[in-house]
Amino acid sequence: MLVRARESVPRDTITEPGARKAHIRWLITREDGAPTFAMREVEVAPGGHTPYHSHPWEHEIYVLEGVGIIACKGGWETTLGPGSVVFIPGGDEHNIKNYGRETLRFLCLIPHPPA
Amino acid sequence: MLVRARESVPRDTITEPGARKAHIRWLITREDGAPTFAMREVEVAPGGHTPYHSHPWEHEIYVLEGVGIIACKGGWETTLGPGSVVFIPGGDEHNIKNYGRETLRFLCLIPHPPA
């Protein structure tokens, strides 16, 4: 069993093109022995956003703090706040913007890529 | 894409023997189209605990609020609080007790069982 504090995990800048003021902590990974999926925590500073992109794998998201807007294909948008739960199927374009004055922080879990 | 508030998901009592004052919300499930894993939120009231048990699948846990104690085989225990991250491998005995005066609330994600 592994127990750690989120603060103990290094916070990396998301360098993918289209990301702005966004950071990620990989909280539980395959290297920890997790066989199926990974837990990451994303922080987006005020004025920041994640890239608008799509990929074959799904996201399962839970908003911890802050307020945001999630956008997807067709121009559809909705607001997010603490306790918002989001499922993004593989292949769906999406991004998340910080819409507030405080940090937007959310968990974003993904399946492991094939080994 | 699916966006919902945690509060909109029904809260069920955990009826497994050994559970006490523990409730669960299934936030993202296979029925939502999630292909790989499920997101659940567990609430344990003061004085309550989850069952002491083991199962073949892993848990990925993130503590949202409250304080708790996680116990596993061999009598090993440690405390949990907001931002604690736990990985429990399949087969490891475990339970989580509320050790505080407020509700202990955590996310607990599991892989889907084989279809």
Domain ranges of chain B: 11-61+97-115
Mutate to test the interface with B, among A59, A87, A95 (most CBs of B within 10 A): A87
pLDDT tens profile A53-103: 999 999 999 999 999 999 998 889 999 999 999 999 999 999 999 999 999
Note whether A111 contacts B7, CB cutoff 8 Å: no
Class at the top of the CATH hierarchy for domain B11-61+97-115: mainly beta
**Is the CB of A1 less than 8 angstroms away from the CB of B86?**
yes
Q: pLDDT tens digit string along B58-92?
A: 999 999 999 999 999 888 999 999 999 999 999 99
What's the angle, vertex CA A102, arms to CA A98 and CA A105, rounded to 5?
60
pLDDT above 90 (res B22): yes
Provide the pLDDT for residue B114: 83
Query: What Rg do the C-alpha atoms of chain B give, in angstroms?
Result: 14
In the numeric block, the tokens 């307020």 are attached to A67
B7 to A39: CB separation less than 8 angstroms, yes or no: no
Confidence of residue B104 (pLDDT cuts 50, 70, 90): very high
Is the distance from CB of A111 to CB of A60 less than 8 angstroms? no
Q: Are B66 and B103 in contact (CB under 8 A)?
A: yes
Q: Is A70:A96 a contact under the CB 8 Å cutoff?
A: yes
pLDDT band at residue A12 using 50, 70 and 90 as cut-offs = very high
pLDDT above 70: percentage of residues in chain A: 100
CATH superfamily of A10-56+87-115: Jelly Rolls (2.60.120.10)
Q: Please report the pLDDT score of residue B73 as a whole number.
A: 83
User: Which among A9, A7, A3, A1 is positioned nearest to A27, based on CA atoms?
Assistant: A9
> Taking Cα atoms as reference points, which of A102, A109, A65 lies closest to residue A88?
A109
pLDDT tops 90 at residue B17: yes
